Amino acid sequence: MASVPQAREGRTRTGTGGAGTGTAPVISLRGAALSYGARTVWQGLDLDVRPGEFIAVLGPNGSGKTSLVKALLGRQLLSAGTLAILGHSPREASRHIGYVPQQATLSAQAMLRARDLVRFGIDGHRFGLGLRTRAIRGRVDEILEAVGAAAYADVPLGLLSGGERQRVRIGQALATDPRILLCDEPLLSLDLNHQRAVTELIDARRRSHGTAVVFVTHEINPVLDLVDRVLYLAPGAHRVGTPDEVLTSESLSLLYDTQVDVVRVHGRVVVVGAPDEPSAQPHHAQELHESDGVRP
């Protein structure tokens, strides 16, 4: 399965997260590939993510977006290539990573209070031991206040709305003061108001602390104004660049090897014709290389 070479990395847009081209990357992928048996999900992926940069990861179902997050978390080994987090392996750098997962069924977590989940983020490796100290409680209260969840700190998670639970999960992810924030579809099942609240929390963190954000989403519009670059994963191909470089009819049509129309209406991006499931690999990798200024 061939991969379309990624685009040349454009300059980070000014006025967003303050990522600098002269700073060392916090995430570095070189020649990265991930396969499940005979199926290659993606390959030949080169990507540097710098402090304060907001990267949106887009693509259809089955294109490997969540698998990329798992690799960054150290839960999934690459099939080829290298991955460094702050110059170390993902597992060695895990304490510097905050993770906001997809909305999930609560099951065993249903009776945990909001403050319990945040507290677990602070010292989950010692959960149940020494957690009544004033310093830890103060830190939990500070985080809950910062994410706007103080009013329901002692409410069981099972009684919170989806938007409220996501605020708490962001608080848990921020509990270790991470240098990287990985967000896997954090806006799923949220209405527009809650989507806005969640994205504002994440953006405020990266602006105030220079935290790099890798944000997996099916819907670019809620974060379009925040994004520095897009990593678009398609079946057998990928593209990296600014939203204006990647989210075009020409670019996506070449990625999918079928006509895809990208329309911008009142500041929103509408993509028409992109397949939802994996299909045959594109046949135009060389054409994209020659016509669109990409590099191997």
Spans of all domains in the chain: 27-238
Q: Is the pLDDT of residue 159 over 50?
A: yes
pLDDT value at residue 189: 80
Closest CA to 97 of 29, 184, 158: 184
In this prediction the pTM is 0.81
Question: Between residues 62 and 240, which one has the greater pLDDT?
Answer: 240
Closest CA to 188 of 110, 109, 113, 104: 104
Pairing relation of β-strands 237-241 and 229-234? antiparallel
Q: Are 38 and 78 in contact (CB under 8 A)?
A: no
Distance between CA 32 and CA 45 in Å, rounded?
5
Assigned CATH topology for domain 27-238: Rossmann fold (3.40.50)
Q: Is the pLDDT of residue 292 over 50?
A: no
Handedness of CA 153, 157, 158, 162 (dihedral sign): positive
Averaged pLDDT for residues 181-200: 90
Give 178's DSSP letter. -
pLDDT digits (tens, 9 = 90+) for 242-273: 999 999 999 999 998 899 999 999 889 998 88
